[in-house]
Structure 1
Amino acid sequence: MQRERTLSRDLTATQIPSGDKQTLPNGTRILIHQTLGGSYTVQTDFGLFRVDGADADALGEAVKDTTVKAATLEGGAPDPEAIWGQLRQVFDPEIPVNIVDLGLVYSMDLEEVRDLANGGAPGYKVNVAMTLTAPGCGMGPAIAEDARSKILLVPGVSEADVRITWDPPWNQQMISEEGKMKLGLI
């Protein structure tokens, strides 16, 4: 799946595994390793980076529509299945399995809140507790932010909080059967 390209413009990317933001300049040669969940994992002469799908044009790829087509439930509440669907679009840039099938998402719940940005109208906050495959994973903040930004695309969601926890510690038994098949574990 690896494709060699040259960036057509400057873009901001997330360095792997540190999670630091860095500008990749126009003309940088890259090798695309992974295109999952609307983002790209690319290699340069100076390291690995995650590139947001909104910058796909700089890689010579088509920018995909990120609109979530889901109806809200009674009272304007977001559809929980749409939220889980968005979480299934979040990937660790080094593992080709989404965070739900990896067993990294421990809980997701909805909380009715007042949307102050919308004149105090009722809104809904999504609270997610998740973990990482290893406590030393420097991509934790970037993965959590990716999850948060994807959740905010769901109709009816006005806020999202993605919290990383280490209790209970993650282990391979938490991976779904589908995830294990993708990883060649069964």
Structure 2
Amino acid sequence: MSDTIDVTALGEKIVRVLKTIYDPEIPVDIYELGLIYDVYVNEDMDVKILMTLTTPNCPVAETLPLEVEEKVKSLNEVKSAIVEITFDPPWTQELMSEEARLELGML
């Protein structure tokens, strides 16, 4: 039971960290932008993040995933972190949160 709580708490901490990372071209964090598809945390505190980019030719395609990985690894509870990029499904504006759409004047 305590392991489940620890994994859940770590997942919430990871989301808070992800919300500090911004797409350099759009003034919205990558979580609210809908670039994070999933965050997996196992009982050993290994983390895998499945994310996408706004386009395959995104100028931060090489640096953004590394930034995500490094910031997540910086959490004391995280044993290891891997970021996997996918374009299936491709990112669309519909993946943005209501907060992100409001920030970008789309509501």
The structure with the greater share of residues assigned to strand is 1
For residue 104 of structure 1, what is the aligned residue in structure 2? 35
Instruction: Give the number of aligned pairs.
Output: 104
Aligned residue runs from structure 1 range 30-45, under 5 A: none
> For 1:170, which of 67, 73, 91 is the aligned residue?
91
Give the counterpart letter for 1:139 in structure 2.
V
> For 2:45, which of 103, 124, 129 is the aligned residue?
124
Q: Are positions 1:80 and 2:37 aligned together?
A: no
Aligned residue runs from structure 1 range 137-148, under 5 A: 137-148=58-69
Give the counterpart letter for 1:141 in structure 2.
E
In the TM superposition, residue 147 of structure 1 has moved relative to its aligned partner by: 0.8
The structure with the greater share of residues assigned to helix is 2
Q: Are the equivalent residues in 2 in contact too, given 1:125–1:157 (CA < 8 A)?
A: yes
In the TM superposition, residue 153 of structure 1 has moved relative to its aligned partner by: 1.9
In the TM superposition, residue 87 of structure 1 has moved relative to its aligned partner by: 0.7
CA distance in structure 1 between the aligned counterparts of 2:36 and 2:91, rounded to whole angstroms? 10
For residue 92 of structure 1, what is the aligned residue in structure 2? 23
Q: Tell me which structure has the larger Cα radius of gyration.
A: 1
Q: Are the equivalent residues in 2 in contact too, given 1:105–1:130 (CA < 8 A)?
A: yes
| Structure with greater contact order relative to length (CA < 8 Å, sep ≥ 6) | 2
* Ranges in structure 2 where 5+ consecutive residues have no aligned partner: none
CA distance in structure 2 between the aligned counterparts of 1:185 and 1:74, rounded to whole angstroms? 42
Task: Detail structure 1 runs of 4+ shifted over 6 Å in the superposition.
Answer: none
* Ranges in structure 1 where 5+ consecutive residues have no aligned partner: 1-72, 113-122
CA distance in structure 1 between the aligned counterparts of 2:67 and 2:20, rounded to whole angstroms? 9
CA distance in structure 1 between the aligned counterparts of 2:51 and 2:25, rounded to whole angstroms? 17
Provide, for residues 94-146 of structure 1, a one-character-per-residue CA deviation record: whole Å limited to 9, x for no partner: 1110111000100001124xxxxxxxxxx421100000111111312211111
Q: Are the equivalent residues in 2 in contact too, given 1:87–1:99 (CA < 8 A)?
A: yes
